[in-house]
Amino acid sequence: MARILSFSRKPALAPTHTEAAAIAAFTNDFSIEVMPRTASKIEDFRAILPAGTRVYVAHIDGVDFSEMLATARRLRAEGFEVMPHFPARGIRDRAELEARIAAYAEADVRSALVIAGGITEPRGAFSDSMQLLETGLFDRYGFTDLHVAGHPEGSRDIDPDGGAQAVMAALRWKSAFRARTDARMAIVTQFCFEPEPVIAWAEALRAGGVGLPIHIGIAGPAKLQTMIRFAMACGVGPSLRVLQRRAADLTRLMTPFEPTEMLAALARHKAAHPDFPIERVHFFPLGGIGATADYAGRLRPERARVRA
């Protein structure tokens, strides 16, 4: 069984040439997530990301929409594909939704991650992503890509009593919605730390009639302490227990984590099963945008450190 983290004193081996090639293929055309305030610290994204990379602009509760729009404009001007978050529970009504969509369209943004949003109580008319999609406004303004959220390990925002069935039903609805939209659709997931549950979840979706491609969330390089902090804040499930157990080795608390073994396991599965629905990798730069961009760059075959 592949394990993604190794906190023993023995350093992890570099991937073989075959593994490196598989990882490079699996992470080709990766996307990355930024927040307006962290993005403002990057002088020029063109210096750290491949041209045309899809950059998700995360909407954290309390961030003004003007900051989101300014970040999107800046990234488009630098030549990147931009996918801002649309959190249903934070949008008051159809008029506000249309105003946001229109503003992004004017900024040449035609992609959206449509989510319920992390707040508990809706601030207006919308409580879930399906209500936003049903308005038809994204199609009206020519959006070409509409992504929705997935949670391979569940979510603290989802009621555990009957929640799994409701989530599956919602994903089936979104999969069926693809026939009613002109946009390409996909599921982008929360970050995860073990490959086996992710593989099982993706296969269960396919068996359950969810035909959307999956972009798997991967945590970029960061210290173990940082990983645990973000995992707790985001409500990550079983993986959090894995991190906590491995944190018992105090000598490794300050050791940077890199998700190479996780990526290698998923890449091997994808190579063996080409129809596996995970199609792309989405990086969460928990240890910093620059560190994650550098790591992703090192996965390219010409830069990868490999063993024979």
Q: 186-198, pLDDT tens digit by residue? A: 999 998 888 998 9
Q: Does residue 145 contact residue 213 with C-beta atoms inside 8 Å?
A: no
Percent of the chain's residues with pLDDT above 70: 79
pLDDT band at 7 (very low <50, low <70, confident <90, very high): very low
Residue range 108-114: average pLDDT? 98
Q: In CATH, what number is assigned to the domain containing residue 90?
A: 3.20.20.220
pLDDT higher for 19 or 252?
19
Contact partners, residue 172, CB within 8 Å, separation at least 6: 208, 209, 210
pLDDT band at 10 (very low <50, low <70, confident <90, very high): very low
**Pick from 72, 92, 69: nearest CA to 80:** 72
User: What angle in degrees, to the nearest 10, is found between the helix axes of 224-234 and 238-246?
Assistant: 150
Least confident range of 11-25, 170-184, 207-221 = 11-25
Q: Give φ, ψ of 259 to 5 degrees.
A: -85, 30
- A 10 A CB-CB count for 300 gives 14
Look at residue 236 and tell me whether its pLDDT is greater than 70: no
The verdict on residue 305 lying in a domain is no
What is the token pair recorded at 103? 């503003």
Q: Give φ, ψ of 42 to 5 degrees.
A: -95, 120
Domain extent for 274: 24-298
C-alpha distances in angstroms, 273 versus 29, 72, 192, 267, 276? Answer: 19, 36, 20, 10, 5
The verdict on residue 3 lying in a domain is no
Whole-angstrom distance, CA of residue 43 vs CA of residue 37: 12
**Pick from 138, 131, 101, 134: nearest CA to 117:** 131
Whole-angstrom distance, CA of residue 97 vs CA of residue 87: 10
The verdict on residue 111 lying in a domain is yes
Cite the beta strand spans of 88-183 per DSSP E.
Answer: 111-115, 145-150
Q: What is the pLDDT of residue 3?
A: 34
Residue range 134-163: average pLDDT? 83
| Number of domains making up the chain | 1
pLDDT band at 11 (very low <50, low <70, confident <90, very high): very low
The verdict on residue 12 lying in a domain is no
The verdict on residue 303 lying in a domain is no
pLDDT band at 6 (very low <50, low <70, confident <90, very high): very low
The verdict on residue 4 lying in a domain is no
The verdict on residue 2 lying in a domain is no
Residue range 34-47: average pLDDT? 96
Q: What is the pLDDT of residue 308?
A: 43
Look at residue 248 and tell me whether its pLDDT is greater than 70: no
Q: Does residue 260 contact residue 193 with C-beta atoms inside 8 Å?
A: no
pLDDT higher for 260 or 240?
260
The verdict on residue 118 lying in a domain is yes
Look at residue 305 and tell me whether its pLDDT is greater than 80: no
Residue range 72-94: average pLDDT? 97
Average pLDDT in the chain: 85
Entry pTM: 0.87
